[in-house]
Amino acid sequence: MYETIYHRASSVDEAAALFAKGEEPKYLAGGHTLIPVMKQRLASPSDVIDLGKIKELIGVDATADALTIKAATPHCDVAQNSAAQKAIPAIAYLASLIGDPAVRHRGTIGGSLANNDPAADYPAAVLALGATIKTNKRTIAADDFFQGLFSTALEDGEIITAVSFPIPAKAGYAKFPHPASRFALTGVFVAKTKDGDVRVAATGASQSGVTRVGPIEAALKANWSAAALDSVQIPSAGLLSDIHGSADYRANLIKVMAQRAVTAAG
């Protein structure tokens, strides 16, 4: 790891001010992407600004309309949170599948979304549920937030403060994890909104990162059941193809994971 200067911010405003002063600064949340990347010397920030201990960024809150997860809340605290389990059980379940227990003790939802790894879990939930990403400057709709591999609508220095998920009528998540890394070889989040709309998002599958899956949305809108997807064909064009799985394999995984997610959603 190259040399860097570590700062621990005690508020969002202090973090933003430290960022503005840094030469090539980076925010640090749980650090479970940034620190490995720094160790590989693929990132060499002049300053790392730790957001992990900022109290206003930690916590889970549920109302009748929305589940709000503050950005520096670790995955384990979402998975075990009774309000989250009750409001959107699929979110608590998704959080329980990320990495391994030690990773879930450190990794955060804000870090996951800001990084936008094409195989991360949370982006699928955010996109399928049409969540709102709140930052220290504005709110961003999920449809506008994800902009391809490791790319988001966040401006330089902008800090995610919370993510607000509208409570759906039904939601489910199913993931085929890579057996070593636990990242999604393909993961699919299905959601039926309270006004009857259906949104489905897949992670780990597409060359352009998390993406909606039109054919599955259309089939589920007509008939919300796993069987309704039996005859759906997912085109493999634009899907990832690597040593872990071909594009055709992932196309099939999208369908199978969607069926399992619908079954889980009930």
Q: What SS3 class is residue 235?
A: coil
Backbone angles phi, psi at 76, to 5 degrees: -65, -35
Output the CA angle 168-151-108, nearest 5 degrees.
Answer: 55
Assess 101 for contact with another protein (CB under 8 A): yes
Strand 5-8 and strand 25-28: pairing?
unpaired
Nearest approach, Cβ of residue 48 and another protein (Å): 7
Site map for another protein, 15-34, x if CB under 8 A?
-------------x--xx--
Nearest approach, Cβ of residue 30 and another protein (Å): 9
One residue of 22, 25, 99, 110 binding another protein per CB under 8 A: 99
Tell me whether residue 38 or residue 140 sits nearer to another protein (CB atom): 38
According to CB under 8 A, which residues from 42 to 71 bind another protein? 48, 50, 52
Nearest approach, Cβ of residue 227 and another protein (Å): 29
Assess 36 for contact with another protein (CB under 8 A): yes
One residue of 38, 62, 191, 220 binding another protein per CB under 8 A: 38
**Is residue 49 within 8 Å of residue 9, measured between CB atoms?**
yes
Beta strands in the chain (DSSP E): 5-8, 25-28, 47-50, 60-62, 66-70, 132-135, 139-141, 160-166, 170-177, 184-192, 198-203, 211-212
Tell me whether residue 20 or residue 102 sits nearer to another protein (CB atom): 102
Assess 5 for contact with another protein (CB under 8 A): yes
According to CB under 8 A, which residues from 177 to 236 bind another protein? 180-182
> Within a 13 Å sphere around the CA of 7, how many CA atoms are in the beta-carbon half?
21
Longest dimension (CA), the chain: 56
Structure tokens at 201: 């998002």
**Interaction site with another protein (CB under 8 A):** 1-6, 8, 28, 31-32, 35-36, 38-39, 48, 50, 52, 76, 99-103, 105-106, 180-182
